[in-house]
């Protein structure tokens, strides 16, 4: 139990102290007008209070990630607590802050355009494709999962449920942000926080001891911690999906100082939620073996339902259903909205018309493949989200590092986590079932070599930036 309480305290202290360091390094100025004010259009650029922005951001980035991912990560044992705490404070929250604030700095630009500014046009083209693929995969997966649950608890069949969920996605993608997202999502964000707090209090007083820290790998399937844990628990530690969501909220900030509360703060909140559910998974079933059996029988949704009803009674059961249905819906719809925004920035370079016509055209372009993918197996879709998600996070961290280097600021706050995530992504893709499926030693070797190469390039850039700039000398 001590480890759990210390971990929560560290996350809170990370927000109180480290977020201010990150903010100072970025450099804010509340005298500058934000895009929400200078580009207000009643659609995407709409001024909102910081607390609304924080709850919307939390709901957008959360989905079922900090719950389902944390439960899967809990199979490794209390070592998962370390990744959630360290990842959230020094990687995930930093990643989210820079993705949001760089967007704000550049008039609400989407993630691929930010990459183009700081890593070049070649990388921008790649990230445009990667981001849209990731958004479509997430939107499709988060259409299928709630549709499956709705069809299992109502008279509606899967196809009808799928159409209803997706129709809602399209509606949210084309409506102004203050019509549904700005009005309803802060309330749903508060429900998510309430449920996490209720589960944590019940855990502390139900008589079962929450496991304390051990570095041993307790995974029943003996899967390696590195780098699988870092991909399994992404939402709740660091997730590249957030880089596509932060620009949505950056368009609503009234002043730059709100960014620390909205972007860094929401990620810390997500980390706390992940920590609570990881602890619940380890504790409730008497260890990782029991958790594995429960996941095999009922899947993550079944585990959430069982824990919630047992600890919180009928109210818990209602909250569980709400979370398992609402959370993926409120992330899938903003994923579709984000893909619409990203594709709009690409199309605007070639087509001159804007406004409602462009919104509907682009939404239609991303909706068709999303709906078709939503009809296939959810687990198959989610398998391919993991690596693309963490690769996106890696690229965002390098984008932020390039920005800090070019502006001669302390780039190590993003450079070090960028190197770490490079190692995660490079190793995982060679080992994973959806990747090259190489042996673990070979994957580890290739991942290490690739990381060393990237590190060497980074060090070279650092040396180049530290060289004194020569001045032209005029000869009299």
With tokens 């190469």, the residue in question is 453
Q: Report the predicted TM-score, pTM, of the whole model to 2 decimal places.
A: 0.91
Q: Which of 441, 401, 445, 443 is nearest to 419 (CA)?
A: 401
Preceding omega of 227 cis (within 30 degrees of 0):
yes
Measured distance CA(390)–CA(384) in Å, rounded: 11
Q: What residues have CB less than 8 Å from 69, skipping those under 6 apart? A: 232, 233, 234, 235, 236, 274
Domains of the chain: 2-15+38-378 (1.20.1740.10)
Residues 196 and 4: beta-carbon distance below 8 Å? no
Euclidean distance between CA atoms 60 and 54, whole angstroms: 10
186 CB contacts (<8 Å, ≥6 apart)? Answer: 51, 52, 55, 56
Cα distance between residue 404 and residue 101, in whole Å = 13
Each residue's pLDDT, cut to its tens digit, for the chain (476 residues) gives: 799 999 999 999 999 999 999 999 999 999 999 999 999 999 999 999 999 999 999 988 887 778 888 999 999 999 999 999 999 999 999 999 999 999 999 999 999 999 999 999 999 999 988 888 888 888 887 788 788 778 877 888 888 988 998 899 889 888 899 888 888 888 888 888 888 888 899 988 887 888 898 889 999 988 999 999 999 999 899 999 999 999 999 999 999 999 999 999 999 999 999 999 999 999 999 899 999 999 998 888 788 888 888 888 887 777 777 777 788 888 888 888 888 888 888 887 766 656 666 777 788 888 888 888 888 766 666 667 888 899 999 999 999 999 999 999 999 999 999 999 999 999 999 999 888 999 999 999 999 999 999 999 999 999 988 877 655 444 43
pLDDT tens digit sequence for 191-235: 888 888 888 999 888 878 888 988 899 999 889 999 999 999 998
Q: Which of 130, 124, 158 is nearest to 144 (CA)?
A: 158
Which is it for the CA torsion 120, 123, 129, 131, positive or negative? negative
């Amino acid at each position: 139990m001590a480890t759990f309480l210390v971990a929560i305290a560290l996350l809170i202290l990370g927000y109180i102290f480290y977020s201010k360091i990150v903010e100072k390094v970025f450099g804010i100025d509340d005298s500058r007008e934000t895009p929400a004010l200078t580009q207000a259009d009643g659609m995407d650029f709409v001024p909102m209070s910081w607390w609304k922005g924080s709850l919307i951001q939390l709901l957008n980035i959360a989905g079922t990630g900090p719950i389902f991912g944390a439960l899967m990560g809990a199979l490794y044992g209390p070592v998962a607590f370390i990744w959630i705490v360290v990842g959230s404070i020094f990687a995930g929250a930093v990643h989210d802050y820079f993705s949001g604030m760089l967007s704000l700095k550049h008039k609400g630009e989407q993630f691929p355009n930010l990459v183009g500014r700081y890593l070049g046009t070649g990388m921008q083209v790649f990230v445009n494709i990667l981001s849209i693929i990731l958004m479509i995969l997430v939107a499709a997966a988060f259409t299928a999962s709630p549709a499956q649950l709705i069809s299992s608890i109502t008279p509606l069949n899967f196809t009808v449920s799928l159409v209803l969920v997706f129709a809602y996605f399209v509606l949210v993608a084309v409506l102004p942000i203050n019509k549904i997202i700005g009005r309803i999502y802060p309330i749903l964000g508060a429900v998510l926080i309430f449920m996490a707090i209720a589960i944590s209090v019940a855990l502390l007083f139900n008589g079962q001891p929450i496991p304390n820290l051990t570095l041993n790998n307790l995974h029943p399937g003996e899967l390696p911690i590195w780098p699988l844990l870092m991909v399994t628990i992404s939402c709740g530690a660091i997730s590249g999906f957030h880089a596509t969501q932060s620009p949505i909220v950056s368009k609503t900030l009234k002043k730059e100082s709100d960014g620390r509360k909205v972007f860094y703060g929401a990620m810390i909140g997500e980390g706390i939620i992940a920590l609570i559910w990881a602890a619940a998974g380890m504790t409730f079933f008497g260890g990782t073996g029991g958790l594995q059996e429960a996941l095999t029988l009922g899947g993550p949704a079944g585990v959430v339902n069982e824990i919630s009803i047992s600890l919180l009674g009928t109210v818990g059961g209602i909250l569980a259903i709400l979370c398992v249905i609402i959370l993926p819906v409120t992330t899938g719809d903003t994923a579709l909205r984000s893909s619409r925004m990203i594709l709009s920035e690409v199309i605007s370079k070639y087509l001159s018309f804007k406004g409602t016509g462009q919104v509907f055209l682009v939404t239609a372009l991303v909706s068709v493949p999303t709906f078709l993918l939503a009809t296939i197996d959810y687990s198959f879709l989610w398998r391919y989200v993991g690596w693309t998600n963490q690769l996106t996070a890696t690229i965002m961290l390098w984008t932020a590092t390039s920005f800090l280097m070019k502006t001669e600021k302390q780039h190590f706050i993003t450079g070090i986590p960028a190197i770490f995530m490079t190692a995660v992504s490079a190793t995982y893709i060679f080992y994973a079932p959806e990747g090259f499926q190489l042996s673990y030693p070979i994957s580890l070797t290739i991942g290490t070599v690739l990381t060393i190469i990237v590190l060497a390039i980074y060090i070279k850039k650092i040396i180049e930036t530290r060289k004194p700039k020569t001045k032209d000398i005029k000869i009299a």
